Amino acid sequence: MTALPLMSVADSQKYLGLKRYQFDNLVRPHVPEIRIGRRIFFSRHDLDSFVENRKGAKKVSKKRVKDAGDQPGKAIRWILNMS
């Protein structure tokens, strides 16, 4: 059996380049939680699937792409249509 790559809430936020409130409002309701004791984890596969499903959901303006430069996490914010 293969172990799932689990990520904590904080690691999931960093992985997607989001702030806590953005993650809680936009991602968390759509991705299943894995609870171990009091801790909450998310599967990296589920996070990746969420992002893939959001691609093309909303058009990204050229200005956003130009303003983002090479900053990590910006691509995820475009997909989620956030700034």
Segment 8-37, tens digit of pLDDT: 999 999 999 999 999 999 899 999 999 999
Whether this prediction's pTM lies above 0.75 is answered by no
Rounded to an integer, the average pLDDT of 56-62 is 55
Return the pLDDT at 78: 54
Q: For residue 66, what pLDDT band results from cuts at 50, 70 and 90?
A: very low
Rounded percentage of the chain residues whose pLDDT exceeds 70 = 61
Q: Buried b vs exposed e over 27-63: b needs ≥16 C-beta within 10 Å?
A: bbeebeeeeeeeeebbbeebbeebbeebeeeeeeeee
Look-up: residue for tokens 């293969």? 2
Mean confidence (pLDDT) of the chain = 77
Domain limits, the chain: 6-79
DSSP 68: H
Rounded to an integer, the average pLDDT of 66-76 is 51
